[in-house]
């Protein structure tokens, strides 16, 4: 029977781990065990911060809408409540964009709500 040399799969795994850890500092980019731990933690943080990013943008949209609505003498909460009662289906991202980039259109929306 012919001889079988081992190690190709484990070397491939090691190479992929170290390639993914490229740019990490100190031993985390060169030592397999430390790189694995670093990658696991990086993945956890990346997942959590993708969720945080959504909340951060929603807060930003709220601030932009509030600033636009205050110029018309209304508060954010009253504006959102009136949007829901008038059944105007614009999400916060759209409203924030209108308030920031198209103030004339936003004024029309505020007048329709008031």
pTM: 0.74
Domain ranges of the chain: 8-113
Q: Read off the pLDDT of residues 91-113 as tens digits, 9 standing for 90 and up.
A: 999 999 999 999 999 999 999 99
The CATH number assigned to the domain with range 8-113 reads: 1.10.1900.20
| pLDDT range class, residue 82, cuts 50, 70, 90 | very high
Residue 25 has pLDDT above 90, yes or no: yes
Query: Exposed, middle or buried, 21 (CB in 10 Å: 0-12/13-18/19+)?
Result: buried
CA distance 103 to 83: 17
What pLDDT score was predicted for residue 6?
Answer: 83
The confidence score (pLDDT) of residue 103 equals 96
Going by pLDDT thresholds of 50, 70 and 90, the confidence category of residue 1 is confident
């Amino acid at each position: 029977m012919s001889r079988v040399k081992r190690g190709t799969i484990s070397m491939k795994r090691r190479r992929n781990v170290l390639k993914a850890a490229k740019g990490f500092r100190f031993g985390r980019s060169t030592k397999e065990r430390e790189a694995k731990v670093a990658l696991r933690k990086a993945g956890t943080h990346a997942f959590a911060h993708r969720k945080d990013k959504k909340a951060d943008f929603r807060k930003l949209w709220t601030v932009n809408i509030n600033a636009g609505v205050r110029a018309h003498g209304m508060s954010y909460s009253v504006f959102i409540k009136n949007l829901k009662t008038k059944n105007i289906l614009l999400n916060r991202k759209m409203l924030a964009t209108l308030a920031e980039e198209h103030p004339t259109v936003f004024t029309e929306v505020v007048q329709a709500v008031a």
